[in-house]
Amino acid sequence: MGKSNRTERLALLIEGYLEYLTDVGRKSPRTVIDVRCTLKRVCQVLAGLKLDQPLEKLSLTDYLRWIEQEREQGRSALSLNKQLSHVRGYLNYAWRSGRADRNVLDGFQLQDASRACEPESLTLDEAERLIKGCSAGSIVERRDRVVVLLLYGCGVRTHELCALTIPSVDPLRKELKVDVAKGDRPRIVPVPGVVHTELLAYLLERGARRGPLFRATGRNRPLSSKEVCEIVSAAAQRAKITWKVTPKTLRHSYATHLMDCGVDVAVIARLMGHRSPQETGVYLHVLKGRTQEAVDRLPCRTELPHGASPEPGDTSS
């Protein structure tokens, strides 16, 4: 296989697997691209380790060498587990199609991936300053303001926001339909009242019934992820927030502030588009210092029933 072919296409079985994900698995183009990037990177790293056999022919020891190499490059366990999931899916496909004796990564996972770091989020004061700093003087400024409002007020991901169209907004139900979502899990997100009012005013000014919800300045195409990051960064500078604020920061702030208000974790998981409440567990840091307050509210008896005596050594009440 020539050099140009290696850069354009992967091994035939891998290409077959990617087509399978699209045609049979009904995975979104973004998901397929993500898997392709993972498999391409794995092949490159293994080639650098002088392991030139097809992925389905490698042993568990070979994959452990790959993991060690990635860790030396600073890859986190969380990132590696995502890559392992992609490779495991491919190996399962190879095994089912008779190209491999077994899936050597079946059930294999890095255990320390659960040590998730607390995500950075804005304080309520910083969030208020961020929104107040978004002017609505020109049509571009009004667009940027609504972008910030949806990122913080609805917790959408950057690529989800870029993929929104005008029909994604349900003005009667005050809902946002997120069709292009992570993991191919579309969801409906309620829009806060104040955000909904500004969103409707923006749509009225647009005067269109179809097309991208947020267009690039002077162009008939959706905003790119890079442009959304620039909008958020500029808003943070106007708000005099000295640390780096990204669209993901606003999403984290959305979940953190909802949890701080006492919203159930399962509800937040649904709003965020998580597979389960376990994924939302990283936001439980806002409950630090409040656990004792919570248990103290339980209607426990503080005295023994009449005539009862405590067991020897029992000092509880």
pLDDT tops 50 at residue 232: yes
Return mean pLDDT, the chain: 82
Provide the CB-side half-sphere exposure for 32 (13 A, CA): 16
Task: Report the amino acid identity of residue 23.
Answer: D
307: left (phi over 0), alpha (psi -120 to 50) or beta: left
Domain ranges of the chain: 3-114, 124-293
Domain at 3-114, CATH homologous superfamily: Tyrosine recombinase, N-terminal domain (1.10.150.130)
Residue 190 bridge partners (DSSP):
175
Position 6 scores a pLDDT of: 39
| 182: helix, strand or coil | helix
DSSP string, 87-151: HHHHHHHHHHTTS-S--TTTT---GGGG-PPPPP---HHHHHHHHHT---SSHHHHHHHHHHHHH
Neighbours of 162 (CB within 10 A): 23
pLDDT of res. 307? 53
pTM: 0.62
Amino acid at 294: A
pLDDT of residue 309: 52
Residue 201 is predicted with a pLDDT of 93
Predicted confidence (pLDDT) per residue in 142-197, tens digit: 999 999 999 999 999 999 999 999 999 999 999 999 888 776 778 899 999 989 99
Domain 124-293 has CATH 1.10.443.10: yes
Position 300 scores a pLDDT of 53
Residue 230's CB: how many other CB atoms inside 10 A?
Answer: 13
pLDDT on residue 219: 79
Q: How far apart are CA 106 and CA 204, in angstroms?
A: 53
Per the model's pLDDT, the better-predicted residue between 111 and 270 turns out to be 270
d(CA 75, CA 114): 15
